[in-house]
Structure 1
Amino acid sequence: MNTRSNPGNEHTDLETATRIAGLMHRKLQGTLDADGETALESWLRMQPESQRSAYTEMQEMPVIESAMQAFHRYDESAALDDVWLRIGEKEWQQKGKVRRLWLRAVAAAAVVLVAGSAALYIFSHKHRQTPGTSVAARYKSDALPGGNRAVLELADGSLIGLDSAGSGTLAMQGNSRIVKAEDGVVAYDDHAAQDAAVQSWNRVSTPRGGQYQIALPDGSKVWLNAASSLRFPVAFKGGERLVELSGEAYFDIAADAARPFRVAVTAPGKGPMTVDVLGTQFNIQAYGDEPLRTATLVSGKVRVSNGGSAEVLAPGQQAVLKGSHRLTVQEADIDAATAWKNGLISLENASIEEIMRQVERWYDVDVVYEGEVNQQFLGKIPRSMKLSDILKVLESTGWVHFEVNGRTVTVKP
């Protein structure tokens, strides 16, 4: 099929861009079958040399990563401008306005399918609707992304809604003052209550659709992901600093060699897991609905144990625990493990079930499945997008389709 454009077949060109981008995506993943190889090679043979060279450039990770860095700043023009600087748009700009539109559509589709960005939706939705059932019929409802939402439970049972509370002093516990800063971070501004007879414990909990940052009494910083909770003392006493985590959190621990920091990790129906640190940055994921619990070390040194085994991690490593099995250690994908903290949903080598569990927690929806989607995705999508936009980006691969009705998302092949 010759894809050279004219003003009368822009719709066809955009459809072709999407189809070819899908073939490129599967080619890069190593999942393109013989028919797909034939179709892609046939299309390439029909293109001018400049486009064949562009296809080669699109497969180079520095190009993709540079584009994604711009996309993560939610600026599609900057991202594509960066791509074009690398793959020679200046030459192509002389080909005419409509031809530039088609070339930009191809590049946008290639970048989204290779790197998981929202670009394809931005381009294609302006020109066409999803074939078959209308978008309006399939997306009866929508959901906004989550935000900074959490509840602080004090030792006496009092509850403080952190997202609705104003800045300033939230509560006094003995001589310790709990303060909400202008940027929303909650901190304990005093190491008081060290000599109290009874240790007091507080808990910060985020709902589905929530996240929050807190500074602990020792100055350590913790970012809580959605549907998570952290229990911690008003003041750290004795020879260790112990906190209890359920869900997912990123830790930046204040160094104190005399008092090691310990995270007791809990997940419903699963055995114990403990992370011991001195001064370091790491991510722990321990949701009850995830088959694996992980501790990913960004910097420093940690010891991860589950009662029956223990492993010491070096930066860039990840401890993995499946059920009550023995711990295993593997090289970590730091960007994927900490994507949520950086405002992204990670698709890296993820199944649709893994992706949708993230969607459930962040958008506070329930997901059901009709049929199987046996594909591994890759890339990252901004968590600031509406639910419908996230789903349309995933649909752009052609591998999966969705219907949204109320708070329920149905996944179909």
Structure 2
Amino acid sequence: MEDKRLKQLVQRYLDGVCTPEELAALQEILRDSAYQERLEALLGEAWQDGAEGSVPRQDERSADEILRRILAHDRQKRPIWLSRWSIAATVVLIVSISALFYLRFGAGLGDNQSVVNTPLDADPGTYKAELSYDGGKPLLLKTSQEGIVMTERGVSYIDGTGVDLSAQGKPVKESYYELRTPHGGSYQVTLPDGTHVWLNAQTTLRYPARFASDARIVMLTGEAYFDVAKKKDDNGRVVPFSVITDQQNVHVLGTEFNLKAYPDEALTTTTLIEGRVRVERPVSGESEGGAAVILSPGQEAITSGTDDGLVAREAEASIVGAWKDGLFVFNDEPLEKIMQRLSRWYDIEMSYKGGAEHIRFTGNYAMDKSLRNLLEHITLTEGIRFETVGNSANERRIIAIKD
């Protein structure tokens, strides 16, 4: 049996379309220890789903668990197509074909409710943002564009098309812009100094229409990746660039770093990719700081809203910025932390039962894929189930349950 056939059967099993005959063939193959050794690699390929890059794959424990469940599955029992009313009460999400049918048809659906209206079928995020200045009415930016470019002449999209802000009045040199992304949105901006910033979902970046000659200061809430342009003043000195958040002030000269500062998360984290940065705790919200650390590439600085500590440690820098390249990367993270990220991107709410929030997961997933498919993978490897709440198309809550 060639790897190609084994990979095909494994993928059909993971996708929930494996027939009883194919399941029997897969079980027969995997009883051979030589092919059991290939399962982990094939599961890793199936999980990556076309994503590229050096990222974690399924671990050995997950592969062993899926092997055990495939071999233990009763291939004589064909999957039963249940009514949508009975699915919510009778289908248990285990690693089997019936588990995948449950995720495909949803839980708690009324007869007139379409599957695509359930939170399990939430669409992935896309390019969405709004721009305002001086507290004026925000302008919704084009979703067909990835970002905007700020210059002294005005604002344009990346392709050079102008952004019409005439309805908001003409900004002055002292104006401050605010670029905001909602749940399920991301955007980019090139600042007046040439600094490139990627904004993740639910993020606000506040910056001046024109930077001062001796300092470049922006304010951030949420998560952003910065590629800071080097800029010199008239005397040839490099003008510092600073990012101000509630828990950290980050000062750089020219570098790449990721800064995560969501109000609903306990930790604020600055991860340095290139160059050097100084990270300090703000004093009474002012730019002058208290305790400070200087980071080298591959390090991160962490602060908590519950204490005054500032901790520097080694980071997985290649993983931290994966979101700006359209990839979720989970490295032995608890489900609660994972779903916190997913909730911003897919615009859903989460709750947990039976300690499901503590289950840990490793893998990577393309951000332009459906939520349903990602939850199927988590269910396959970790043995939990996901249920929707209510019958309303506006209900956005999913419950993760560990039995």
Q: Do they fold alike, i.e. is TM over 0.5?
A: yes
Structure 1 residues 230, 376: closer, same or farther in 2, change over 3 A? same
User: How far is the alpha carbon of 1:154 from its aligned partner?
Assistant: 1.8
2:204 equivalent among 229, 233, 240: 229
Offset from partner CA, 1:228-285 (integer Å, 9 cap, x none): 000000010131100000000000000125310000013xxxxx31000000000000
**What's the Cα RMSD here?**
4.1
Indicate the residue corresponding to 2:322 in structure 1.
Answer: 339
1:286 aligns with 2:261: yes
Asked if 1:264 corresponds to 2:244, the answer is yes
1: CA distance between counterparts of 2:149 and 2:298?
38
Mapped to 1, the partners of 2:100 and 2:37 lie a distance apart of: 31
Structure 1 residue aligned with 2:3: none
Structure-2 change in CA distance of 1:168 and 1:144 (3 Å): closer
Q: How far apart, in 1, do the equivalents of 2:105 and 2:354 lie?
A: 22
Aligned to 1:411: 400
Which has the higher relative contact order, 1 or 2, with Cα contacts under 8 A spaced 6 or more apart?
2
Listed as ranges, the matches of 1:194-209 within 5 Å are: 199-209=174-184
Alignment match, 2:360: 376
Q: 1:310 to 1:370 in 2, by over 3 A?
A: same
**Equivalent-residue separation in structure 2 for 1:147 and 1:178 (angstroms):** 21
Change (3 A) 1:134 1:390: closer
Stretches (4+) displaced over 2 A? 7-17, 50-55, 63-71, 109-114, 131-135, 137-140, 163-171, 181-186
Match of 1:20 in 2: none
Residue 47 of structure 1: aligned partner: 32
| Corresponding residue of 2:298 | 316
Flag structure 2 segments of 5+ consecutive residues without an equivalent.
1-5, 10-18, 68-95, 110-117, 164-169, 232-236, 282-288, 390-394
**TM score, norm. by length of structure 2:** 0.68
1:359 aligns with 2:342: yes
Alpha-carbon separation, structure 2, partners of 1:166 and 1:131: 35
Residues 367 and 66 of structure 1: CA distance in aligned 2, closer, same or farther (over 3 Å): closer
3-state SS, counterpart of residue 349 of structure 1: strand
Question: So what's the TM-score if we normalise by structure 1?
Answer: 0.67
- Among 215, 228, 231, the residue aligned to 1:240: 215
8 Å CA contact 1:244–1:264 kept in 2: the answer is yes
Match of 2:370 in 1: 386
Q: Would the alpha carbon gap of residues 363 and 231 (structure 1) be closer, same or farther in structure 2, given more than 3 Å must change? A: same
Against the structure 1 CA distance between its residues 183 and 248, is the aligned structure 2 distance closer, same or farther, given a 3 Å change threshold? farther
Residue 103 of structure 2 contacts residue 372 of structure 2 at CA under 8 Å; is this kept in 1?
no
Gaps of 5+ in 1: 18-42, 75-82, 84-106, 115-126, 187-192, 267-271
Q: Is the CA contact (8 Å cut-off) linking 1:201 and 1:232 kept in structure 2?
A: yes
Offset of residue 293 of structure 1:
0.9
Partner of 2:23, secondary structure, is helix
Q: Corresponding residue for 2:187?
A: 212
Are the structure 2 counterparts of residues 164 and 67 from structure 1 closer, same or farther at C-alpha, using a change threshold of 3 Å? closer
